[in-house]
Structure 1
Amino acid sequence: MSSLTNQNIFTVSRLNAEVRLLLENEMGIVWLVGEISNFSAPVSGHWYLTLKDSRAQVKCAMFRGNNRRVTFKPQNGNQVLVKARLSLYEPRGDYQLIIESMQPEGDGRLQQQFEELKMKLAGEGLFAQTSKKPLPEHPKRVGVITSKTGAALYDILDVLKRRDPSLPVVLYPTMVQGEEAAIQIAQAIGCANSRNECDVLIVGRGGGSLEDLWCFNNEILARTIAASQIPIISAVGHEVDVTIADFVADMRAPTPSAAAELVSRDNSHKDQALLSRQNKLISAMRYFLSEQKRHNALLQHRLERQHPSYQLQRQSQQLDELEVRVHRSMERYLSQRSQKVERQQHRLELNSPVKRLSEQKSSLQRLEQKLLDAMDRRLLNTRHQLALAAEKLDTVSPLATLKRGYSISQTEQGKVLTKTSDIKTGDTLVTRLSDGEIRSTVN
């Protein structure tokens, strides 16, 4: 622990940055075949997808400047071949591929195999000009390795017949298309070397697609051509067609007819020598340009890693991710607010004045009925009690006594007389009977 310093302690950001640089510098460009899934194309114009096979998957990004060159619309489930550089998306710590080119698997796989074999053989020096054998200035016999029924053979024979009818030609018939063609061509070259009856060999066929010419991109055939003791002229397809055989052969002719012109003599043999040197120069320039292209590609790759646009691409990817996260957050927030509003609305409905008024009205009606019932019971009880009290009062009432024949005498002032001494002669008395009063005067 005592030897631990601040330089040994990584932050997460520093760790991800170091890992990204390590991946980009060590891995470089990779070719990858896979199936597209989770494809998305946000408004930024960039593409995000996942490449997968039966057991694994890897996240990929293809930025707008590169995906504009794609000639088809990628869809989930497409099998594609991509050229990409390995990187790491620092904010999440996810490693990913930054795709530079994309093509359908069928066409792209052949092109990838062509480039890989080309770089492999170039690295071994099979294309080097120093390893190429010079063509004989005046060949005595020419060997032709091609199909005995193809147009290329007739083109070669027509040119030789016109330019140098005396030049012998030996045909080594072989297939020039299909899976077995490369082996047959290699065997024909071996046969010609073992027989050693020709000064120069023309190997070729007419034009065609990349698949048609694919046998001339075979590694075994390329090594057989390089090992041949007899100089070989590659005459495959048209001038625009380029194969591995063209790079490894001692001379490349644009067409089978041009190859025949290279080995034949006529009065313009100086032109032939010039053409031969020109072709050598073209071949050397092609090799030089190929090497320069490869070197420039490496430099461009290093430059791209340091270019501000690369940083902008990564930031643009981060912006796209943040945009997706914002949308998701907004959707969650709106969903939560909607649920809250629904709960508040439910509570409001439960506490609605209309509902409460209805409940209070019902309660008031019940209380009113209870009050009426209570009043009826109270009135009935009161009437009953009044009747009992009236009955008791009637029992003790003076009127009842009067009905039995008694009377009450009072002065005019209302004083009840109980003794004779309370009156004197001349006083007026009021005698109350059960059915009225009698006024009398004391004599």
Structure 2
Amino acid sequence: MIMDAFLNNSLENFSKSVSSSISFSSLEASAMSVSRFVSVTNNALQNFGQAVVIGEISEIKTYSHLYFKLKDETAAVDCLMFASVLNRLSFIPKIGMKVVVVGKSSIYLKTGQFKLIVDKMFVAGAGKIMEELLALKEKLNKEGVFAAIKRPIPKWINKVGIITSKEGHVLHDMLTVLNKRNPGIEVVVYPCQVQGSEAPATIVNALNTAFSDNVCDVLIVGRGGGSFEDLMPFSDETVVRTIINSPMPIISAVGHEPDVALSDFAADMRAPTPTAAADIVSSYTVEMMQKDLDSYALLLGDLIYKKIDDLTVVLEKAEIKLKSFGPESLLNLKSSYLNSLNEKFARLIFDKLAFCKAQNDSFLHRLQAHDPKFKLNSLDLAVNEFEKRIEFTVNDNIAKTAKHIDNLLLLMERAPFHQDMIDADKKIETLKEKLISLNPLLVLKRGYSVTLDKKGSCANINTLKINDELKTLVAGGQVLSVVTGIEKD
């Protein structure tokens, strides 16, 4: 309504301007440029505010941004979604999808083309379903359903179970891939419905049948692409819980690459498409099997040759052991034993003879010690040694006496100096006697005493005080006293 009012006012103003104009030149002077007109129109559209539009996607062009056309039965509008908004979507827009968009109207200045700049997009009618689906995912995640340890897909697969619809091209494509890559894999199909309200129950029944048969090495659960609602059966809680309790590995292959179902989180592996799941289980192709068989054949040959070599060694050891118990071996053993005894007996005889010789030599040495001739020789040696010692002592005493005589003669030659020494000694003795007579200690022996103050000086009556300590020297020791009174003459 705002847009209609804007256009009507513009036309009315234009008509009034034309009718009231004096000349065409004045009309030209008041005309807007194309840029100005597009800018004014764009501003008016911007002021229009956000619009909420529902429609079906009819065209899609994706560069860094998403360009698409939204239409209904009678009209269409070009739309633009910037990459930053596109990356935040929880789904991938597709042709034919009915969506609700929120955005602002805009005109591209260079071309004057009208576009709806989309800020938000939702799948029509899926808002509540999406909220329920996210709530279920959060619930199962908190219970640890999706945290179960994922089992590896076996390399050797003899039988694979496929849980999908028998109708449509999905099953045909999967069988084609399996037969082409590894025709030795046996396929068991457990049919079920893959869309609609009854689909979850049929998927669960097919899974339980496969679990009961327990003949497959791996199961593929999936379907081809479709709308958001078409894929919902594979996000059903009962389907998810049945998958997580599978006794065998399961591959979830629902829709195409961007499609995601809760079964993808519960399964041991997610495949982007059913055909990709068939590629995974048949990854061990006939060519790879032949190559492995050739490798195993070589390995088996090596093991056989090694076993033959080991058995040959065992046989040789057995032959050696058998020979060790034969008559010839026993004779050689006895002969070796006799030779050993002979050598041992010879060593004993040699050791005995050596011991007897040593004893004999000891006896001879002891007899020589008591031989008279040996004793006489010993006495002669002792006499000669004594004579040498006497001769040395006599000669030494003679030398010492001669030296003493020489010293006396020398002293006699120095007699005057000797007399001086005698006179000096006499003077020293005289001085010594005088010093002794002046020694205060000798005075003490005659009955006198000396009193000293605490400084060690002779006590003076004029300097003494009451309680001063005194030391009195007497013959044979000293007396300690304290001044209790002083009397002067």
User: How does the TM-score come out when normalised to structure 2?
Assistant: 0.35
User: How does the TM-score come out when normalised to structure 1?
Assistant: 0.38
Higher relative CO (Cα under 8 Å, sequence separation at least 6) belongs to: 1
